């Protein structure tokens, strides 16, 4: 007996791909190292891990422990994100992209659990943050000498 009907699983996986794509499109548009496909794949993979854990538990006649699968995904994507971050000459680069990957995984986890409202609202918020908050940051972040704390989109290391 499956966790959910096949059509519901398809909806959850498709939603995970779409929401990962929303985040990834913004990163791709800005030329970041992890773009559309990467974010979609991370989101779908996260959903597959949770859905597979649920299905395996039910088939084995055990209680479903999606939290363990979710924890493993969060840790694994953390390592993936760490691989995206680059530090060179006192500058940390692509930290936001690494955080976006982690967020894409969270969207996949939530979609797999059927938490549609949560992941849709969260994706809209993430898109707004990625798309518009760099403008806000540019206006409020100033170095002690009055110059911008950003240099070509890169943060200065403290």
CB 107 within 8 A of CB 119: yes
Look at residue 105 in the predicted model and tell me its pLDDT.
95
Query: What residues have CB less than 8 Å from 92, skipping those under 6 apart?
Result: 85, 86, 154, 155, 157
Could you tell me the maximum CA-CA distance found in the chain, to the nearest angstrom? 65
Q: Measured between alpha carbons, how far is 123 from 119 in angstroms, rounded to an integer?
A: 6
pLDDT at 60: 80
Kindly state the DSSP code that residue 20 receives in the 8-state scheme: H
Residue whose entry in the numeric block shows the structure tokens 């995206």 = 84
Question: What ranges do the domains of the chain cover?
Answer: 6-156
pLDDT in tens, the chain (158 residues): 455 789 999 999 999 999 999 999 999 999 988 899 999 999 999 999 999 988 888 888 887 777 888 888 888 888 888 888 876 677 788 889 999 999 999 999 999 999 999 999 999 999 999 998 888 877 786 666 655 555 555 555 55
pLDDT at 109: 94
Beta 91-93 vs 154-156: how paired, if at all? antiparallel
Would you state the pLDDT for residue 68?
A: 82
Residue 1 pLDDT: 47
């Amino acid at each position: 007996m499956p966790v959910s009907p096949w059509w519901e699983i398809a909806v959850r996986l498709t939603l995970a791909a779409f929401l990962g794509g929303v985040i990834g499109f913004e990163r791709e548009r800005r030329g970041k190292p992890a773009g559309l496909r990467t974010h979609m794949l991370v989101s779908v993979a996260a959903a597959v891990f949770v859905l597979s854990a649920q299905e395996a538990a039910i088939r084995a006649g055990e209680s479903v422990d999606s939290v363990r699968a979710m924890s493993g995904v969060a840790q694994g994507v953390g390592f993936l994100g760490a691989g995206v971050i680059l530090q060179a000459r006192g500058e940390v680069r692509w930290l936001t992209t690494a955080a976006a990957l982690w967020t894409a995984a969270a969207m996949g986890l939530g979609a797999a659990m059927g938490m549609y409202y949560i992941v849709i609202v969260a994706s809209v918020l993430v898109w707004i943050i990625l798309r518009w908050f760099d403008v806000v940051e540019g206006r409020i972040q100033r170095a002690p000498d009055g110059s911008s704390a950003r240099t070509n989109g890169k943060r200065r290391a403290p």
